[in-house]
Amino acid sequence: MKRFFLKFNILIVILLSLISIMTTRTGHCAEPTRIDPDYSKSESWLSLPASIDKDVDVFWIYPTVYTGKNHIAAIDEPQMVAGAKLTLITQAAVFGNSANIFAPFYRQANISVLGLDDLHKDQFLNVGKYDVRAAFNHYLRELNNGRPFIIAGHSQGSVIALTLIKELMSDPALRSKMIAAYTIGWSVTQADLDNYTFLKICETPDQTGCIITYNTVAEGYQKNAPTILTGSIGVNPLSWTTTSEKVPTSQNKGAVFFNMKGEVTATIPEYCSAQNIDGGIVVETKNPELMKQLPFDEGVYHIYDYSLFFENLKANAAERIKSYQSTR
């Protein structure tokens, strides 16, 4: 009997070892997650201003840019670093004229994680949330110096931003410092508002302490967009309201398109209209050929959420900052 249990225990050890090896080879091993980023070091930051020349900050959380074979990337993974830097030009730049941009590197999950079961999916996504929470706490403690701030992101960055807001903004003192949050490329749902009553969706262009959220699609493609969840609420980036009114192209101050080097390839005023329909922002344009990079289905313009309304976003950030400052 003792020999049986000894053999049984040895078998269990061998099986566990094999599982560990197989998990590592299939990318489930969280090797990069074993080293927590040290946000007291400048190399842990994508953007860390050398000097502070504005009265307002933006805390930027970049979208999914890592496409490597592992499910998660370390913060110094070259392809992720390059992609994250590109977002400072193609997305976060809408805030650059108005605010100091702080942006942490975080251990990012690649898009394949969305195909895993909930347990493993949450395991990998939670690593990034943990990192950004640590970075934001360091920012508040060591870098912010009492300045009001905007929280902004896109895609996975907006998932993390929304989690951060849910966890921390129940504190009225901290919430009073948040000018607005731009959680673009992800959904804020009615259930979110019901469960976190301190969350507010922006209803006017100059409202503060609220969230701007939207996902762009062609008409009829809302169900094809994995970022549009049941009960999603969209803010129209041409009117900054949640109404279903179609806002014409004449209100579009300019779409800005970039190449993979971050160079502007086209700036087009009045490029597209926008209408809030069934949780998505439906856009219509005479030049859809400019939207060639579609990581999801045709008609899902996720990658262009910022580009399509680039100049409107830039103007709106400035307007909300001015509105916030006028009440202080």
DSSP letter for each residue of 21-59: HHHHHTT---GGGGS---TTSGGGEEE--SS--SS-EEE
Which tokens hold the place of 98? 């108005």
Split at pLDDT 50, 70, 90, the class of 1 is very low
- pLDDT for res 200: 98
- Determine the distance from the C-alpha atom of residue 129 to the mean position of all C-alpha atoms in its chain, rounded to a whole number: 11
Q: Specify the 3-state DSSP secondary structure of 237.
A: coil
Q: What mean pLDDT, rounded, does the chain reach?
A: 90
Split at pLDDT 50, 70, 90, the class of 117 is confident
Residues 192-203: tens digit of each pLDDT: 999 999 999 999
Residue with tokens 């905007």: 150
The side-by-side arrangement of strands in the sheet containing 280-282 is 216-217, 280-282, 275-277
Predicted TM-score (pTM) of this structure: 0.89
Q: How far apart are CA 59 and CA 292, in angstroms?
A: 29
Over pLDDT 90: what percentage of the chain? 80
Query: What's the whole-number mean pLDDT along residues 190-218?
Result: 98
Residues 143-174: tens digit of each pLDDT: 999 999 999 999 999 999 999 999 999 999 99
Query: What's the whole-number mean pLDDT along residues 248-260?
Result: 97
Query: What's the whole-number mean pLDDT along residues 95-115?
Result: 93
Q: How far apart are CA 196 and CA 273, in angstroms?
A: 32
- pLDDT for res 294: 81
- pLDDT for res 87: 99
- pLDDT for res 193: 98
Q: Specify the 3-state DSSP secondary structure of 60.
A: strand
On the question of pLDDT at 14 being above 80, the answer is no
Split at pLDDT 50, 70, 90, the class of 113 is confident
Shortest CA distance to 226 belongs to which of 270, 181, 279? Answer: 279
Residue with tokens 């949330």: 129
DSSP for 145-179, please give it: TT--EEEEEETHHHHHHHHHHHHHTTSHHHHTTEE
On the question of pLDDT at 231 being above 50, the answer is yes
Q: Specify the 3-state DSSP secondary structure of 110.
A: coil
Which helix (H) or strand (E) element contains residue 129?
helix 118-138
Positive or negative CA dihedral for 268, 201, 150, 86?
negative
Residues 31-44: tens digit of each pLDDT: 455 789 999 999 99
- pLDDT for res 292: 85
**255 or 295, which is more confident:** 255
